[in-house]
């Protein structure tokens, strides 16, 4: 196996200019973890840079619930970082961080270990996403954590590693009709090779409700359209299984499918044999 990288990475922290308390919190967390970072001003949805406007059309496709202004800002902030990575400004491997995290103090060592074990064609590694479905172990890390592939990627954009190739894939010129955390877990849309780590070394959403949420009042059109409608996608029927077979191998995909089916039945009926619940996070020394 050709490994991904020698262990070097850059870190970028997304933070709204007005969220000074969150910045101070993350400064403390990342200093304890020994992670140097660059702050990136987060984007407000009402003030999109010209280079990102085409991703968020004024008129969404039919039967699609339009994104709220805060969801646009969150997604645009991530795309802005992807543009910088794709342009070569931040190096080949970047740790992208939101500003409401609890971080393990050995995060830098974990990341170096991850990068030494990934295949060369990796695109994204999720560090704040405990799996809810069966997974396939790729490697065991030095501290006992596991590098995994998912049978269903959980949503969270709190902390992840992204390669330059992954950033270019995420910049695919297509309208964004889902929030960033929902869209980026649909890896088949972008051809992403996504991995994860369990137990996760980063815990997201640990502060009060995001200020982005406060920017998301519903319009009349949004209020009239149920949120569930936005999740009705035929791509799940064919594209997701095809991508999972590619990522897990046919045997790995079939094994995860059977484990997920048994777990679902066990949860519904109280039968024994449910999937063992992995610890969602193991944070070392973070306060």
Three-state DSSP class for 281? strand
> Is 52 a domain residue?
yes
One DSSP character per residue, 70-87 reads HHHHHHHHHHHHHHHHHT
The four Cα atoms 233, 68, 124, 148 give a dihedral, to 10 degrees, of -60
Rg for the chain (alpha carbons), in Å? 19
Residue 258 lies in a domain: no
- Dist CA 170 CA 52 (whole Å): 13
CATH number for the domain harbouring residue 153: 3.90.550
| pLDDT score at 156 | 85
Residue 192 counted as domain residue = yes
Higher per-residue confidence, 73 vs 62: 73
- Per-residue confidence (pLDDT) for residue 256, from 0 to 100: 81
- What per-residue confidence (pLDDT) applies to 155? 85
| Structure-model confidence comparison of residues 18 and 259, the more confident one | 18
- Per-residue pLDDT band for 274 (boundaries 50, 70, 90) equals low
For 255, counting Cβ atoms within 10 Å of its Cβ (0-12 exposed, 13-18 middle, 19+ buried), the class is middle
- For 195, the enclosing helix (H) or strand (E) is strand 194-198
Q: Which residue has the higher pLDDT, 260 or 167?
A: 167
Q: Identify the band that residue 264 occupies on the pLDDT scale cut at 50, 70 and 90.
A: confident
Is residue 86 a part of any domain in this protein?
yes
For 16-52, the pLDDT digits (tens) are: 999 999 999 999 999 999 999 999 999 999 889 999 9
Residue 266 main-chain phi, psi, to 5 deg: -65, -40
Mean pLDDT of 89-117: 96
**Would you state the pLDDT for residue 1?**
45
Look at 38-42, 82-86, 206-210, 227-231 and tell me which has the smallest mean pLDDT. Answer: 227-231
Distance CA(141)–CA(7), nearest Å, equals: 14
Confidence category of residue 250, pLDDT binned at 50, 70, 90: confident
Residue 120 lies inside a defined structural domain of this protein: yes
Q: Choose between 267 and 251: higher pLDDT.
A: 251
pLDDT value at 265 more than 90: no
pLDDT digits (tens, 9 = 90+) for 167-223: 999 999 999 989 999 999 999 999 999 999 999 999 999 987 555 545 555 544 444
In a domain, 275, yes or no: no
| Contact present, 276 and 134 (Cβ < 8 Å) | no
Degrees, nearest 5: CA angle 12-113-281: 70
Q: What is the pLDDT of residue 271?
A: 75
Return the pLDDT at 220: 43
pLDDT of residue 78: 97
CA 167/CA 94 separation, integer angstroms = 10
State how far the Cα of 184 lies from the Cα of 190, in Å rounded to an integer.
8
Q: Which two tokens stand for residue 96?
A: 């992208």
Closest CA to 153 of 265, 87, 247: 247
pTM above 0.85, yes or no: yes
On whether residue 241 sits in a domain, the answer given is no
pLDDT of residue 287: 56
Q: Is residue 239 part of a domain?
A: no
pLDDT of residue 69 exceeding 70, the answer is yes
Full residue range of the structural domain in which residue 92 is found: 10-226
Total domain count for the chain? 1
Question: 3-class SS at 101?
Answer: coil
Lowest mean pLDDT, pick from 7-11, 21-25, 178-182, 267-271? 267-271
Pick the residue with more confidence: 156 or 18? 18
């Amino acid at each position: 196996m050709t490994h991904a990288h020698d262990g070097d990475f850059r870190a970028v922290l997304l933070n709204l200019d007005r969220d000074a308390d969150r910045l101070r919190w993350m400064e403390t967390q990342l200093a304890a973890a020994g992670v140097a970072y660059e702050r990136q001003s987060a984007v407000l949805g009402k003030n999109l840079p010209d280079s990102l406007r085409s991703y968020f059309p004024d008129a969404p496709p039919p039967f699609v619930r339009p994104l709220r202004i805060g969801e646009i800002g969150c997604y645009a902030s991530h795309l802005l970082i992807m543009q910088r990575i794709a342009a070569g400004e931040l190096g080949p491997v970047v740790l992208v961080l939101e500003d409401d995290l609890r971080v393990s103090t050995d995060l830098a060592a974990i990341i170096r270990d991850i990068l030494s074990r990934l295949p060369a064609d990796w695109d994204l590694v999720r560090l704040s996403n405990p799996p809810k479905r069966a997974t396939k172990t790729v490697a065991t890390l030095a501290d006992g954590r596991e590098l995994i592939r998912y049978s269903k990627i959980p949503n969270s954009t709190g902390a992840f590693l992204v390669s330059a190739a992954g950033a270019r894939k995420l910049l695919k010129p297509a309208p964004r009709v889902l929030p960033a955390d929902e869209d980026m877990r649909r890896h088949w849309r972008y051809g992403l090779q996504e991995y994860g780590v369990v137990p996760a070394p980063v815990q997201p959403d640990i502060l009060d409700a995001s200020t982005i949420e406060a920017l998301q009042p519903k319009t009349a059109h949004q209020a009239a359209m149920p949120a569930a409608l936005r999740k009705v996608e035929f791509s799940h029927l064919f594209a997701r299984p095809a991508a999972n077979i590619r990522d897990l191998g046919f045997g790995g995909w079939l094994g995860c499918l059977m484990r997920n089916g048994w777990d679902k039945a066990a949860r519904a009926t109280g039968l024994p044999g449910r999937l063992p619940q992995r610890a969602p996070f193991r944070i070392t020394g973070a306060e």
